[in-house]
Amino acid sequence: MALITKAIKGTQDTLPGDSYKVKFLEATLSDIAGNYGFREIRTPVFEHTELFNRSVGDTTDVVQKEMYTFDDKGGRSITLRPEGTAGAVRAFLEHGLFNEPTPMKVYYLTSCYRYEKPQAGRLREFHQFGVECFGTSSPAEDAEVIALADEVFGFLGVKGLELQINSIGCPHCRPLYQQALKDYFTAHKEELCETCRDRLERNPMRIIDCKEESDELKDNAPVVLDYLCEECSDHFEKVKQYLEAMGLAYTVNPRIVRGLDYYTKTVFEFVSHDIGAQGTVCGGGRYDGLCEELGDKSIPALGFGMGIERLLLLLEAQGIELPKPDDMELYIASAGDNASLKAAAIVHDLRAEGIACGFDTVGRSIKAQMKYANKMGSAFTVVLGDNELESGTVRLKYMETGETQDMALETFAEDFPQIAVQAAMAALQKELNTGEGDLANVDLSALLGGNTTWTE
């Protein structure tokens, strides 16, 4: 089939067969964030370019190479958001959220845009789950934010992730480290790529994050932890103490600097070795100076970003299946106009009760309708024709077991929801009774005060 155009390179469609995975992740991430006191924030997909130049840093790859920037019809420079933090900080300052009780905790599920070479886990349009916490400089909050990300991975059953942490100091001690790096890399200037030669004068820490430079060259560079001031060193030690108190294993990696300029003190990454080069599935840290940079308001803050596409890749690589909801609870196969009208009425009433159901709108034969219902994974089916209309009785079939039950057509829409609940409970009872643990052999029908009539 010839198409006028296809999806733009670096973007991808989420098709109906996979959308349940994203919906499950979004619901899970929102629930866990809510348990930690975070509330959702939504910001525009584009902002004034100055916001990202000032926050992300004009020496970063994001600003220098990757941003989607254009002039609007008013001649203003506009940029599609390359990450979520800057917009959240702008909204926090613009709407005076610092006047509300602190710490102010927000989370977002958002799309981001970067012009990069597309590869597995790296797209030009991608999606992020992020959290931002404003108004506390306590190392306890650093650990709590890290614990939130760790709980997400634990809930999903992800294995083999390594939590790596570091401190990159503050404006008081970082200049000493920057100078040490500048001296070191100046001696190796001929070995640097063209981009890093420019960074050498403006921000030598970015060289540590460059993928073009040799590991040996970077490994022999000065270590930031050797240059921390007493405050930063003490903060980092307390972060580690809180992580240990929470039972979170970590590795100190002094080479983590993160790719954005706004970070201070604590930085961290959750790294997997199961998805190739793009192994960082979550990264974040403190940015205590960003609010002042953007709004002349000194407010400590921290957060992280978690890539949804990379998380899905990781789940797939580890064979972790996300629960797939039933597409359809009931399908009514109808024969004839009168039966179709009655099916439409029943389906309409059941949908109002939250029951996912359907009926034929194509004009298929009964056989074809039943085949369609099976493909859609309908838990129950009913055949409705002239005989059923005349007798006032229909036969409900439970597709999993093949069992049937006769029901009055007049009260079908009222009676079916309870039947569906009983069947679901019976299925869950069976699953629990064949499992292990505290829930095995629990009598769900007794708990619900009803009878689970759908059994094999």
Closest CA to 397 of 443, 329, 337: 329
300 prior amide bond cis, ω within 30 = no
Both structure tokens of 11:
């973007």
DSSP H or E run through 310 = helix 308-317
CA–CA dist 257, 199 (Å, integer): 14
Answer whether residue 323 shows pLDDT above 70.
yes
Q: pLDDT tier at 162 (50, 70, 90 boundaries)?
A: very high
Residue 58's pLDDT is: 62
pLDDT of residue 314: 94
Q: Residue 320: is its pLDDT beyond 60?
A: yes
Query: What is the CB neighbour count within 10 angstroms for residue 100?
Result: 11
pLDDT at position 309:
94
Question: Which DSSP category does 213 fall into?
Answer: S
| 374-389 average pLDDT score | 94
Please give the helix or strand (H or E) that residue 26 lies within, else none.
Answer: helix 19-35
Indicate the pLDDT class of residue 260, thresholds 50, 70 and 90. Answer: low
User: Mean pLDDT lowest for which of 153-162, 196-205, 411-420?
Assistant: 196-205
pLDDT of 449 over the 50 cut: no
**What pLDDT is attached to residue 196?**
86
Is it the case that residue 240 has pLDDT exceeding 60? Answer: yes
- C-alpha to C-alpha distance for 263 and 206, rounded to whole angstroms: 12
Q: pTM to 2 decimals?
A: 0.85
**Integer Cα distance of 261 and 269 in angstroms:** 16
Handedness of CA 55, 61, 65, 66 (dihedral sign): negative
- Backbone phi and psi for residue 183, each to the nearest 5 degrees, phi listed first: -65, -45
Structural Rg of the chain based on CA atoms: 28
**Token pair recorded at residue 139:** 């190392």
**What does the pLDDT read at residue 61?**
65
Mean pLDDT of 203-224: 85
451 band by pLDDT with thresholds 50, 70 and 90:
very low
Secondary structure (3-state) at 447: helix
CA–CA distances in Å: residue 253 to residues 147, 163, 206: 18, 9, 16
Tell me the average pLDDT of the chain.
89
Question: Rounded CA gap, 349 and 326, in Å?
Answer: 19
pLDDT in tens, 403-423: 899 999 999 999 999 888 887
Listed ranges 15-19, 33-37, 122-126; the one with the highest mean pLDDT: 33-37
- Show the domains of the chain with their CATH numbers: 19-173+228-317 (3.30.930.10), 330-418 (3.40.50.800)
The pLDDT-based confidence of 447 (bands split at 50, 70, 90) is very low
- The answer for residues whose C-beta is within 8 angstroms of residue 120's C-beta and 6 or more apart is 275, 276, 278, 313
> Per-residue pLDDT averaged across 136-148, rounded?
98
CB atoms within 10 A of CB 167: 28
Q: Which range is least confidently modeled, 116-120, 157-161, 225-229?
A: 116-120
Q: Are strands 357-359 and 330-334 parallel, antiparallel or unpaired?
A: parallel
pLDDT at 273 over 90: no
